[in-house]
Chains A and B, each alone.
Chain A
């Protein structure tokens, strides 16, 4: 089944740093009946104070510290400098300054035995684990994370294993800040994945939803508009889906031609909240009963209207 949710604060500086984490926790917990295998969020529009934040999870087979040391060395070997490392059990949140190619950095971290990358972002990070939203919060304290927008997912596994690696959101390796949550099943993802792999793209999992993330990121990297990319995905992706994508500047949703998966939207002048079920919208809009249900073959996008905050480093 799976449940997805997202929230975005539309306007300017004054609304930056909203309690996106807290609100996602409440939305996802209210939809726990849609899946308790795992829960995950991506909280975007943050100020890291470093070029990137990398979220990694390491295997404890040879000791977590051993793998972390490997990640550190991998970053240093490419000229990156680690500014901070936050410790959440097997998970590490690494703030680093780096001016090189992100593909190389990602490959280098991934080559460390026992390390997986959950996300690399300039202003967003993925936090995901097995269990429901409150269990996730207990371990990772994501309800205290603020931002301008974010998305989340509760999973009932259908296409691949129940573990942390295969939980949503999926980050589009190695594109910063692009993540996807998906409710549904793709039937042509093997084919799409093979095409991407032939072009040199890398996948961390066997999950269908990871392909959506890479599909979108690839097109966005060629300076395409998010709305156009989502439109094209309606024909390129086969199967049932409602998915939400988050970028550094906003969110977008697409719904398949069969209208097979539920989705509702509540939008005000300041906020837009979207979710698989209205029960989640009621957590952030207790009394406002207006809501729309997108129909089949539909695409919508919303932007955070912030001045560009990301400065390109010129060395």
Chain B
């Protein structure tokens, strides 16, 4: 399962950038700002959002291949409901960064707030700092990479995909997860309900290392071994197939 998912993870998209330009968020309401981002995106340009000022709901609902960067911190639900974006955030984020991401890539240079990658279904999110509580809550696909530590309830109710935490995770890791894998390089505070640890296989380790190196993680900061948290499936009541997959099975 891991290998198949890994194959599906898109590399950081290089959008068809013709000429970049910037938008000063300070001068615009959130609604106007998002409209400006969308119209710029449709012209295929790289957009830099200046003074994002930790405001909420920036760059939501963009379903085109595009390239964005935020010159500062963003608030709640940044890049939520997006499909195909490639975004970089130079500061921190509030709750729910990349909520429901379908595909594309989000990179955040500092810390992510709680619920990063909530319900994401594809693509990848890379947090260079730490993540707050409930990272990858209800994840349904894709890869969430956290270079620092991740908080309480990491991978809570996760249904698919994988979370790779280079540092440690807090208490109740993998609580009530159905499917998917949480890899942890550091310490695990405690395991959540119906979660268990397994040892990663040799091939998984090799694949993980190759994946992380491709993200420019230096060899010397990669953990020596990864712990692996999966569902113990004692409370398992779950059909992990997407509707399309189920149709295919029936046929």
Dominant SS among interface residues on chain A:
loop
**Chain A nearest Cβ from B152, distance in angstroms:** 4
Instruction: Say which residue of B73, B130, B134, B170 sits within 8 Å of A278 (CB atoms).
Output: B73
Across the interface, which residues of B come within 8 angstroms of A293, CB to CB? Answer: 111, 113-114, 130, 132, 151
Across the two chains, which residue of chain A brings its CB closest to B133?
A259
**Chain A nearest Cβ from B78, distance in angstroms:** 11
Cα A134 to Cα B32 in complex, Å, equals: 24
**Chain A nearest Cβ from B230, distance in angstroms:** 23
* Interface residue A282 (Cβ < 8 Å from any Cβ of B): yes
* Interface residue B53 (Cβ < 8 Å from any Cβ of A): yes
* Interface residue B94 (Cβ < 8 Å from any Cβ of A): yes
Contact B72 A279 (CB under 8 A): no
Across the interface, which residues of A come within 8 angstroms of B134, CB to CB? Answer: 259
Contact B73 A33 (CB under 8 A): no
Cα A33 to Cα B77 in complex, Å, equals: 14
With A259-B133, A277-B54 as contacts: A289 and B95 at CB distance below 8 Å:
no
With A262-B94, A278-B94 as contacts: A295 and B54 at CB distance below 8 Å:
no
Cα A277 to Cα B152 in complex, Å, equals: 19
Interface string of A261-301 (1 = CB under 8 A from B): 01010000000000001110110000001111101100000
Across the two chains, which residue of chain B brings its CB closest to A290?
B110
Contact B72 A296 (CB under 8 A): no
* Interface residue B142 (Cβ < 8 Å from any Cβ of A): no
Across the interface, which residues of A come within 8 angstroms of B92, CB to CB? Answer: 264, 278, 289, 291
Interface string of B76-93 (1 = CB under 8 A from A): 100000000000001110
Instruction: Say which residue of A264, A279, A281, A296 sits within 8 Å of B152 (CB atoms).
Output: A296
Cα A282 to Cα B56 in complex, Å, equals: 13
Contact B53 A262 (CB under 8 A): no
Contact B94 A296 (CB under 8 A): no
Across the two chains, which residue of chain B brings its CB closest to A276?
B94
Question: Which positions 205-260 of chain A face chain B at CB distance < 8 Å?
Answer: 259
Across the interface, which residues of A come within 8 angstroms of B72, CB to CB? Answer: 282, 289
Across the interface, which residues of A come within 8 angstroms of B56, CB to CB? Answer: 33, 279
Contact B54 A278 (CB under 8 A): yes
Instruction: Say which residue of A279, A290, A292, A295 sits within 8 Å of B53 (CB atoms).
Output: A279
Across the interface, which residues of A come within 8 angstroms of B130, CB to CB? Answer: 293
Contact A289 B90 (CB under 8 A): yes
Cα A262 to Cα B55 in complex, Å, equals: 15
Contact A279 B55 (CB under 8 A): yes
* Interface residue B171 (Cβ < 8 Å from any Cβ of A): yes
Contact B75 A279 (CB under 8 A): yes
Contact A282 B170 (CB under 8 A): no
Cα A262 to Cα B66 in complex, Å, equals: 31
Contact B53 A289 (CB under 8 A): no
Across the interface, which residues of A come within 8 angstroms of B111, CB to CB? Answer: 291-293
Cα A264 to Cα B95 in complex, Å, equals: 11
Across the two chains, which residue of chain A brings its CB closest to B132?
A293
**Chain A nearest Cβ from B32, distance in angstroms:** 16
Across the interface, which residues of B come within 8 angstroms of A278, CB to CB? Answer: 54, 73, 75, 92, 94, 113
Across the interface, which residues of B come within 8 angstroms of A295, CB to CB? Answer: 132-133, 151-152, 170
B residues in contact (CB < 8 Å) with A: 53-56, 72-73, 75-76, 90-92, 94-95, 110-111, 113-114, 130, 132-134, 151-153, 170-171
A residues in contact (CB < 8 Å) with B: 33, 259, 262, 264, 277-279, 281-282, 289-293, 295-296
* Pairs A–B under 8 Å by Cβ, sample size 7: A259-B132, A262-B94, A279-B53, A289-B72, A289-B73, A290-B110, A292-B111
Besides A279-B56, A293-B113, 4 other CB < 8 A contacts?
A: A259-B151, A277-B76, A293-B151, A295-B170
The 9 closest A-B pairs by CB, nearest first: A278-B54, A259-B133, A279-B54, A289-B91, A296-B152, A293-B132, A295-B151, A282-B54, A259-B152
